[in-house]
Amino acid sequence: MLAHPVTADPVFEFAADVRAGLTQPDQKELPSKYLYDSVGSALFEAISVLPEYGLTRADERLLRRHSDDIVERLPVPLVVAELGSGSGKKTRWILEALSRRQATSYCPIEISPAALAMCRRELGDIDSISIVGFEREYLDGLLEVAAQRQDGEHLLVLFLGSTIGNFDRPADVRFLQEVRRILRAGDALLLGTDLVKSIPQLLDAYDDPLGITAAFNLNLLARINRELDADFDLRQFQHVARFNHSSGSMEMHLRSKRKQMVVIPQAELSVTFREGETIWTESSHKYSPGELTQIGEQAGFRREAQWIDQEWPFAENLLIAD
């Protein structure tokens, strides 16, 4: 697998985002994409098999059961671009179904080189699939894939898991609109979305008794220490998961256990935390099935089909660019 690397300095960009997020006047925050370095990606793989966290298994069940139906609804020839492939494990079902129809170029788009390497190991054995990885932000990578496709080739964009739920409302619609601008009419988007479920079930999923989700969240501070020479004392921060009723989202925060100051030299920043003050690290919106049709239409797509897992309410949505 070839990998097209990021051209900007990733440490400089990381430092700039940390500085911007931790100097917010009301709520300190850090972009959730930075949770997924090599350690974070490995921890998330562990989270995905926890009994309390059914999302990944629901995603995989739908793709396994319906991959042939999904593929039959798509035009050929086809190029596949995946936004945030992770290890690529759940993508196997789609690619194997495609490989029975045609030779296909698969382009995972990831900011994590470790994730791209895992993807290559996971999917490199599928016949008739060529893998070209892009170490890019989502939209930058998608622009590059779209620019390289041949005349007559259609594009299938995979945005699996529940990553769209990490966007605030209405940033999810704006992001999908940006994706639509890159696509041509008739191109497709397969969008994974977590659905509304009971709050106790969600709290168990985002604050598991083994503490793996807490380690995943706290690793973001450890990453800032490693890469930006900061002096976060991880023992003085606590993982917090809570449901935001107004937005319909699960939120992850890191709460300061005491008043403290943290120095982050590479970000040219010293930041003070009050006791009980939090850093907001991730949101995950939970959709209703009907809401997904609405946001797709607002972004310039029509819904071709929707498949819902009943064991852990989750939906795969096949959207076609109008």
In tens, the pLDDT along 62-79 reads 999 999 999 999 988 999
Residues of the chain with pLDDT under 70: 1-8
Which domain does 295 fall in, by range?
1-71+166-322
- 187-212 pLDDT, tens per residue? 999 999 999 999 999 999 999 999 99
125 is a domain residue: no
pLDDT (0 to 100) of residue 3: 56
* Residue 85 to residue 218: CA distance in whole angstroms: 23
111 is a domain residue: no
State how many domains the chain has. Answer: 1
Q: Whole-prediction pTM value? A: 0.91
* Residue 73 to residue 169: CA distance in whole angstroms: 30
209 is a domain residue: yes
218 is a domain residue: yes
297 is a domain residue: yes
pLDDT (0 to 100) of residue 63: 97
86 is a domain residue: no
138 is a domain residue: no
3-class secondary structure for 275-303?
CCCEEEEEEEECECHHHHHHHHHHCCEEE
290 is a domain residue: yes
